[in-house]
Structure 1
Amino acid sequence: MQWLKLKFPFIYLICTVTAAAWANLERDPNGYLTYCPCLGRFGNQADHFLGSLAFAKGLNRTLILPPWVEYRKGEMRSRQVPFNTYFDVDPLKDYHRVILMSDFMWHLADDIWPESERVSFCYIVRQLKRTIKNVRQTQPNNEIKSVFVASDANHMIGELNAALSRMGISVHRLPEDDPYLELAILGQSNQFIGNCISSYSAFVKRERDSNGFPS
């Protein structure tokens, strides 16, 4: 019982300090900005972070710091490592306002960014549009009418059709996934946009490089 008497004040102290820290997380009236650290490994993610930090400062918005994404040998899934595992956050605040994504999601997101209103922007759609426009300008005889998508998860057919409909382009996939047939189609297509961390995309890229095809 004596141990319990000593322990309870310590627990109360931790709870009090934690609650006070949460109370200091006030809403930024200028808004927030974050980024997806999924385009590459640590070097690319660090470069992405630096660019986003400068962008957030330019917009005068608080930067939400997402976890680092680690791809470890022998593991099928990536690991989400909190930003402050490797770097102190407080020195960044001398340059501009930042907040850990975990703090933002736990203590601010429900009011600022309710789940029903959450929409993400996927860069691949903009990159796809840019590639199509470039082909139409440089290769007028190579008119693009359709886009083929290969994926082991979400093909985003509805989203891509909606994004490209104004360009007169339809988006398609195989009725059933067939990685060998998809590999052949992607290897011989006029243009190819791949995922830079995908070994499957790497196979396609090597084949296209050997044939002198653009990627």
Structure 2
Amino acid sequence: MSYGLFLSITSHGIVVYGLLLTVLSSEIDLNGYLLYCPCMGRFGNQGDHFLGSLAFAHGLNRTLALPPWVVYPSKPVATSSHVPFKDWFQVSSLQKYHRVMPMEYFMDKLAPEVWPPGKRKGFCYGEPGNDCPMKRGNPFGPFWDRFGVDFDDSVTYTRLSFSTHHNWVRDEWNRKFPPKDYPVLAFMGAPAAFPVAEENKWLQKYLKWSPAIIKRVQEFINRELPSGAWIGIHLRNGIDWVRACEHADGITNMMASPQCLGYQPAVKLTRSLCLPSKQDVLKEVKKLVKSIKAKGVFVATDSDPMLKELREHLKALKMKVSVVTSFGGHDWSPQLDLAILGQADHFIGNCVSSFTAFVVREREAAGKPSSFFAFPKIKVGAKVEL
């Protein structure tokens, strides 16, 4: 929609332009839109935040613009990069729950009319009168720069919850920021809790992998894993995790630990739950392989897959068990690992990891069993005693 086009066409063409304007206007959601920067943490955290943001948009009855995923390189560089939402997940599946659209589409097709330059306000938590540092630092600046967004003003909010499961929360947001005055709520960070609120976990059922990811998963499974039952495991054992787990003993809540301890834990976290020993890993994998007569083990990790140790330990079963990983391969990505783990006959993960939590939620939605190293509690599906 441009004035240049309007002035350059004939009188017959002006009718066509007027028709295009009408079609665009009819597409606009008068209930408003919700945008946010997925700028807090890596993919596991972004996944938790996405489910909460989806629930929040649904509660306010605003269309959610699906942001690209923020990707951080393995080695420090100047900036982050971005992957369009639809490259990894199906938009059509989410539309069965609520109105969503790729942020690229919103910015290209709708923003010129509903959120034009000069009227772009950023929202953040803070006291009235304070500014929102919407673009300060990486990944915030690069995220909005990707869409050519500069903010003309900011709006702060306090004492407002994101839990729109309570009607009064929804009503308060709509009273303070009605769509007619605020057609777009653009948040500095995700309007959601971390870890994901218990009441929003079920929304994972709408988050379906894209055809491209599914194709890669099937190719890997067919190429690397034998026919028959196989298990997937997630090993979080990099130096960053080792250091984080030094502080795990005796606390009741750490990162994604509610997935195994519960949201109102009666027991405290231990270092072994956060960082299972190699002995724990070998023992539990061996016991599970024997129990379900698994022919293969897939290891997802970003550090040490323990391939040698696992292969040696499983030899005692006197049955051929393949132990494989995608880590280090030319096609490796965390998303590939996540999608592969979702297909396993049984999954063992890390109680504290949000990466594990993403897999567990997907498997819960599909009725598949999962458990945690050093915490042998089966979540769903067939019972397997470890």
TM-score band (shorter)? 0.3 to 0.5
Structure (1 or 2) with the greater strand fraction = 2
**What is the TM-score normalised by the length of structure 1?**
0.47
Higher relative contact order (CA 8 A, sep 6+): 2
